[in-house]
């Protein structure tokens, strides 16, 4: 019997969330290395398209307008548009589908494709496993990246743990112009992402203020604040209270698209963030970073391959499971993180980055030889 031919049309399903989309890039890279001639598409929520659209391994992103399609049952026109979307996906006749989301809608998309080989983890929720015909036992590994890469290993492919992201030229050009207009040009800058959708993930804003006021003494006078639209009010005092005589605060919270945020992060000298997508983008651009974690487990959702960059609160009750969506939690766990702990980690990251840069600098190597 002849072995099955290698797939020529592959679909990767990971619509959301933004941090998870960034963490799924190694699956795309692994598939591209194994099947360099294959067309690899990716179903992604429209809001998060900029995170992957510039990746050279991607053939095309298939936009899933979740907000619009979520109203299909109330509007016949939207229901027809959703049906057309499903038909267009099925017409591509994919050979291989990987459901990396493992939720109800991703399982439905996988099933609708009609692909002869549809893979997901057996632990997929909301009966998503019904959409696949190849259900992989979940590995005994905590991190979401390792769990997704179990699909690659199951297929007999070599896993490539490459999380590199690519900012589009238009966004890079925009950021260069912003820096020119703000009169800090090529000077080093620190990106701070102090906001979060969930109160339980927010380090107290007054502690961000103290931390930021210590950065100019470390050689960083320019601080760029980033955050999602709707989160502006979380940092109003941060911009007002920081010491402007010692540094320059560029408040871009709620003012940038995802693509523009990527361009900002791409050349940052340091990124300090709560458990949020900018932290994973910093990893994707190989930037020094410090992640602040409270109720969420960095072993599962932390910056991949960088456990040493995490500052996590010491829980008063280690055996108590606190879910970040529980409103009763507030910022109680994040308040256990002290400013000195964050500054110590910042100094370690900057020192490590300088040593790593020196090792790869030919001028430094030449002078030391």
Q: Are residues 340 and 194 in the same domain?
A: yes
Instruction: Check residue 353 and give its pLDDT.
Output: 82
Rounded to the nearest 10 degrees, how much is the dihedral formed by the CA atoms of 85, 89, 91, 93? -170
Q: Is residue 287 part of a domain?
A: yes
Q: Which residues pair with 208 in a beta bridge?
A: none
Q: Per-residue confidence at 286, pLDDT binned at 50, 70, 90?
A: very high
Q: Are residues 353 and 317 in the same domain?
A: yes
Q: Are residues 181 and 233 in the same domain?
A: yes
Q: Which residues pair with 66 in a beta bridge?
A: none
CA 98 to centroid of chain Cα atoms: 19
Instruction: Check residue 69 and give its pLDDT.
Output: 75
DSSP-derived letter for residue 356 is: H
Instruction: Check residue 366 and give its pLDDT.
Output: 47
Q: Which residues contact 170 (CB under 8 A, 6 or more apart)?
A: 259
DSSP-derived letter for residue 260 is: H
Tens of pLDDT, residues 63-117: 998 777 777 667 778 789 889 999 999 999 999 999 999 999 999 999 999 999 9
For the cut 50, the answer to whether the pLDDT of residue 364 exceeds it is no
Tens of pLDDT, residues 219-251: 999 999 999 999 999 998 886 666 554 568 999
Helices (H), 10-132: 18-23, 25-34, 66-69, 76-91, 104-113
Q: Are residues 269 and 137 in the same domain?
A: no
Q: Are residues 132 and 200 in the same domain?
A: no
Q: Is residue 2 part of a domain?
A: no
Q: Which of 104, 128, 154 is the last residue of a domain?
A: 154
Q: Is residue 163 part of a domain?
A: no
Q: Are residues 132 and 187 in the same domain?
A: no
Residue 325 Cα distances to 168, 199, 220, 355, angstroms: 34, 8, 35, 39
Q: Which residues contact 298 (CB under 8 A, 6 or more apart)?
A: 275, 291, 307, 310, 312
Q: Answer whether 277's CB lies under 8 Å from 19's CB.
A: yes
Instruction: Check residue 125 and give its pLDDT.
Output: 94
Q: Is residue 162 part of a domain?
A: no
Q: Are residues 102 and 195 in the same domain?
A: no
What does DSSP say about strands 117-121 and 96-99: parallel, antiparallel, or unpaired? parallel
Q: Kindly state the average pLDDT of the residues 5-31.
A: 97
Instruction: Check residue 226 and give its pLDDT.
Output: 97
Cα(369)–Cα(364) distance, rounded to whole angstroms?
9
Q: Are residues 130 and 255 in the same domain?
A: no
For the cut 50, the answer to whether the pLDDT of residue 367 exceeds it is no
Q: Is residue 118 part of a domain?
A: yes
For the cut 70, the answer to whether the pLDDT of residue 2 exceeds it is no
For 31, the token pair is 């598939």
Q: Which of 108, 4, 28 is nearest to 64 (CA)?
A: 108
Report phi then psi at 197, rounded to 5.
-65, -30
Q: Answer whether 231's CB lies under 8 Å from 195's CB.
A: yes
Tens of pLDDT, residues 21-80: 999 999 999 999 999 999 999 999 999 999 999 999 999 999 998 777 777 667 778 789
Helix, coil or strand: residue 42: strand
Q: Answer whether 224's CB lies under 8 Å from 356's CB.
A: no
Instruction: For the chain, give the percent of residues with pLDDT over 70.
Output: 91
Q: Is residue 138 part of a domain?
A: yes
Q: Per-residue confidence at 323, pLDDT binned at 50, 70, 90?
A: confident
Instruction: Check residue 369 and give its pLDDT.
Output: 42
How many independent structural domains does the chain possess? 2
Q: Which residues pair with 60 in a beta bridge?
A: 41
DSSP-derived letter for residue 165 is: -
Within the chain, strands assigned E span: 9-13, 39-45, 60-64, 96-99, 117-121, 134-136, 189-193, 222-225, 248-251, 270-274, 289-293, 310-312
Question: Please, what is the average pLDDT of the chain?
Answer: 91
DSSP-derived letter for residue 47 is: G
Q: Which of 92, 121, 154 is the last residue of a domain?
A: 154
For the cut 70, the answer to whether the pLDDT of residue 320 exceeds it is no
Q: Answer whether 358's CB lies under 8 Å from 364's CB.
A: yes
Q: Are residues 354 and 220 in the same domain?
A: yes
For 42, the token pair is 């990716």
Instruction: Check residue 9 and give its pLDDT.
Output: 98
For the cut 80, the answer to whether the pLDDT of residue 10 exceeds it is yes
Q: Per-residue confidence at 359, pLDDT binned at 50, 70, 90?
A: low
Cα(325)–Cα(80) distance, rounded to whole angstroms?
34
Q: Is residue 340 part of a domain?
A: yes
Q: Which of 124, 154, 184 is the last residue of a domain?
A: 154
Q: Kindly state the average pLDDT of the residues 241-265.
A: 85
How many CA atoms within 13 Å lie on the side-chain side of 107? 19
Which residue is it, tokens 């050349």? 267
Tens of pLDDT, residues 130-149: 999 999 998 898 999 999 99
Q: The whole model's pTM is what?
A: 0.92
Tens of pLDDT, residues 149-181: 999 999 999 999 999 999 999 999 999 999 999
Q: Are residues 206 and 267 in the same domain?
A: yes
Domain limits for position 343:
170-364
Q: Are residues 199 and 347 in the same domain?
A: yes
Q: Per-residue confidence at 215, pLDDT binned at 50, 70, 90?
A: very high
Instruction: Check residue 242 and give its pLDDT.
Output: 67
Q: What is the CATH number of the domain that holds 185?
A: 3.40.50.2000
Tens of pLDDT, residues 301-317: 999 999 999 999 876 55
Q: Kindly state the average pLDDT of the residues 197-209.
A: 95
Element (H, E) at 340: helix 339-359
């Amino acid at each position: 019997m002849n072995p099955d031919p290698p797939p020529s049309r592959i679909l990767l399903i990971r619509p959301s969330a933004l941090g998870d989309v960034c963490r799924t890039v190694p699956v795309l890279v692994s598939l591209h290395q194994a099947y360099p001639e294959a067309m690899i598409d990716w179903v992604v929520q429209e809001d998060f398209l900029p995170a992957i659209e510039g990746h050279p391994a991607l053939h095309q992103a298939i936009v899933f307008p979740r907000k619009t399609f979520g109203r299909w049952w109330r509007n016949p026109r939207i229901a027809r548009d959703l049906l057309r979307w499903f038909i267009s996906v099925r017409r591509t006749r994919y050979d291989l589908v990987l459901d990396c989301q493992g939720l109800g809608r991703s399982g439905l998309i996988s099933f609708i494709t009609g692909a002869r080989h549809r893979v997901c983890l057996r632990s997929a929720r909301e009966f998503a496993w019904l959409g696949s015909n190849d259900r992989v036992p979940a590995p005994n590994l905590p991190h979401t990246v390792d769990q997704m890469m179990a699909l690659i290993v199951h297929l007999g492919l070599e896993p490539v743990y490459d999380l590199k992201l690519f900012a589009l030229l238009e966004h890079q050009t925009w950021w260069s112009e912003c820096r020119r207009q703000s009169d800090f040009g090529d000077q080093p800058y620190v990106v701070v992402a102090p906001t979060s959708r969930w109160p339980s993930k927010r380090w107290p804003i007054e502690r961000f203020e103290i931390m930021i006021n210590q950065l100019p003494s470390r050689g960083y006078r320019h601080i760029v604040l980033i955050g999602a639209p709707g989160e502006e009010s979380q940092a109003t005092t941060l911009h007002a209270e920081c010491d402007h005589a010692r540094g320059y605060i560029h408040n871009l919270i709620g003012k940038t698209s995802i693509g523009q945020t990527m361009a900002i992060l791409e050349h940052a000298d340091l990124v300090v963030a709560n458990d949020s997508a900018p932290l994973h983008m910093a990893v994707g651009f190989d930037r020094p970073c410090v992640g602040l974690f409270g109720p969420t487990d960095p072993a599962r959702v932390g910056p991949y391959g960088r456990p040493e960059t995490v500052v996590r609160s010491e829980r008063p009750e280690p055996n108590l499971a606190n879910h970040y969506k529980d409103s009763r939690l507030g910022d109680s766990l994040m308040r256990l993180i002290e400013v000195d702990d964050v500054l110590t980690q910042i100094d370690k990251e900057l020192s490590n980055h300088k040593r790593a840069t020196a090792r790869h600098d030919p001028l430094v190597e030449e002078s030391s030889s």
